Structure 1
């Protein structure tokens, strides 16, 4: 049984991709190799993101925004982009899935309430992804990625 790997990507790698990575680590432990990166990384993690992750026991200790490592990008099984702004030019052998996550600020919801809603949306998607990845790794079913998109910039 091989260990599946996933790279979560957003623009700044300070919020949504860090949330997804922390939640996947909490859900799957060391059964999934989890990474996160940003297309234009910021300088720190979003404090409200860290707070709402701590609320559910998904720590971000030791994490920081980082750029996409081209070697890692070519080695992971799946890249998940969070939001429509993050664009990844992955090798043809790597599946890219986009999650257009809920954005409560579009409904006038901000602050900690916004972050909890974003966290909960991402958590549900992470749980479903963990089930798919682990089932495929255990040989119980082939990996299926129904929301697969390819974003190639020429």
Structure 2
């Protein structure tokens, strides 16, 4: 059986989608293939997101924002978009979830912590839904 794959997409691929991908890797291990991308990738990861994830023992400093590609979307079973609206393309036949989350860009650490914790909860729910799929 092919392992399920999840693609997290936000505009800059510097905060929300990186934190979501890191949580999914952390919680699912190698049971799920994890990708993240942005419609307009930033130069680097949001340092406040890095700090917030470091507080829970997850290191995302080695991640690099990536541009969303047709191939990455085509190869994913579930596509989770975060606040990119029309900038996030739609691929027929995929399972979609749109997570309405505060954009951590320019936010203080306490706000980014809340976003981090909300993302963790949603990833846990996503995994619970994946098991019966």
Instruction: Name the TM-score, length of structure 1 as normaliser.
Output: 0.78
**Which deviates the most, 78-87 or 123-132?**
78-87
Query: How is 1:105-120 mapped onto 2 (pairs within 5 angstroms)?
Result: 110-120=107-117
Query: How is 1:33-48 mapped onto 2 (pairs within 5 angstroms)?
Result: 33-48=33-48
Question: Is 1:124 the equivalent of 2:115?
Answer: no
Instruction: Confirm or deny: 8 A CA contact 2:10 2:38 kept in the other structure.
Output: yes
Unaligned runs of 5+ in 2: none
How far 1:83 sits from its partner (Å)? Answer: 2.0
Tell me which residue corresponds to 1:62.
62
Give the structure with higher Rg (CA): 1
Q: What is the CA–CA distance in structure 1 between the aligned matches of 2:99 and 2:41, rounded to whole Å?
A: 19
**Which deviates the most, 41-50 or 125-134?**
125-134
SS at match of 1:118: helix
Aligned residues, how many? 132
Tell me which residue corresponds to 1:75.
75
Unaligned runs of 5+ in 1: 137-154
CA RMSD, aligned part only?
1.9
Higher relative contact order (CA 8 A, sep 6+): 2
Tell me which residue corresponds to 2:9.
9
Gap change, CA 1:92 and 1:42, over 3 Å in 2 = same
